[in-house]
Amino acid sequence: MTAAVEAASNNLAVNISTRHLLSGILLARGTVAAGILTQNGVTYKAIQEFPVMVMEKSEQPMPEVPDFKWHPRQISPVFLLVLLGTAVTGYWAYLSGQVNSRFPVFLFVTGGWIVSLSLHEFGHALVAYLSGDRTVAGKGYLTLNPLKYTHGMLSIVYPLIFLIAGGIGLPGGAVYINRSLISGRVRHSLVSLAGPIATALLALLLVIPFILGIVAKSLVTHPVFWSGLAFLAFLEFTALLLNLLPIPGLDGFNALAPFLPYRVQAAMASLSRYAIFLLFILFWMDTPVQTWFWGAIWWTMDLFKVDGNLVGIGYELFRFWQ
């Protein structure tokens, strides 16, 4: 702390390892340290906008991020195998004429969900890279490898509980972004929104056959596949809407957080560890949020011509163990 204060008093650029320390000093008005920082242009607002560096208005701009040149060769073989497996099991379900053909639907929906998870997390990582955090490339987040996005509880246990218990697509990936390397509130917000945008694009892709009437024309001959696809689209929309809720720990709140006062951010961040329990309360009890959420989901299904009965059949086929 002494070194930082002395450097600021000499009007030099200061490397800050955490913004919490300086924020605390400035909020403690009347202290010698807060006075020295304020006199040299180190303000609370400046710290929030530049979480890594507090610099004089000057000659040391933030380093530019080089253009990201993505190539298909960078796609992980693991992702390609999952994609291929999803296509094969989808074709298996397409050829299944009996509604009791459950296992191919389970494999198809599971594969599709893993693909969507990879695209969601890739969206976060790509925008983070372009915004300044180049460490995501070294972590393998730009390869679409689902194994790189895995967290034991968040990626496997909780999503399975939500899916089996209520047919809800809980976003379960995990990318660790170094937010201190990203400057600007808008960039931080875009990093958080990039994942839901990827999910939304995939969901819209899945409902194209329903919108164009392709499903209605071949439903009698291929009921298993279309039921599975309807359920997968349903999962994507539930994951999208759920993830956009302004609850700490979800992308919806993370997109709003940069524009909130720092004290509010800190208080809400401490609650993020309890987000999963809050979701259980909201969705397994009779609450206004539960009513609004399911009303919005079924309105969306109707908007895109996805029959709710198909969604229900797909859900039952997915649970092949019953």
> Each residue of 286-295: pLDDT tens digit?
888 889 999 9
- 192, 279 contact by CB (below 8 A): no
Locate tokens 């099991």: which residue? 89
Q: Among 68, 58, 46, which Cα is nearest to 183's? A: 46
> Each residue of 28-40: pLDDT tens digit?
655 656 666 666 6
Residues 6+ apart with CB under 8 A from 280: none
HSE-CB of 54 using CA atoms within 13 angstroms:
27
d(CA 310, CA 148): 33
Which pTM value belongs to this model? 0.76
Q: Confirm whether 121 is a catalytic residue.
A: yes
> In the chain, at which residue ranges do the beta strands (DSSP E only) sit?
14-15, 53-54
Mean pLDDT of the region 82-101: 88
Among 6, 59, 121, 316, the active-site one is: 121
| Amino acid, single-letter form, for residue 204 | L
Locate tokens 């999962």: which residue? 235
- 243, 251 contact by CB (below 8 A): yes
The per-residue pLDDT for 290 is 86
> Each residue of 187-223: pLDDT tens digit?
999 999 999 999 999 999 999 999 999 999 999 899 9
Locate tokens 């390892």: which residue? 17
Determine the 3-state secondary structure of 53 from DSSP: strand
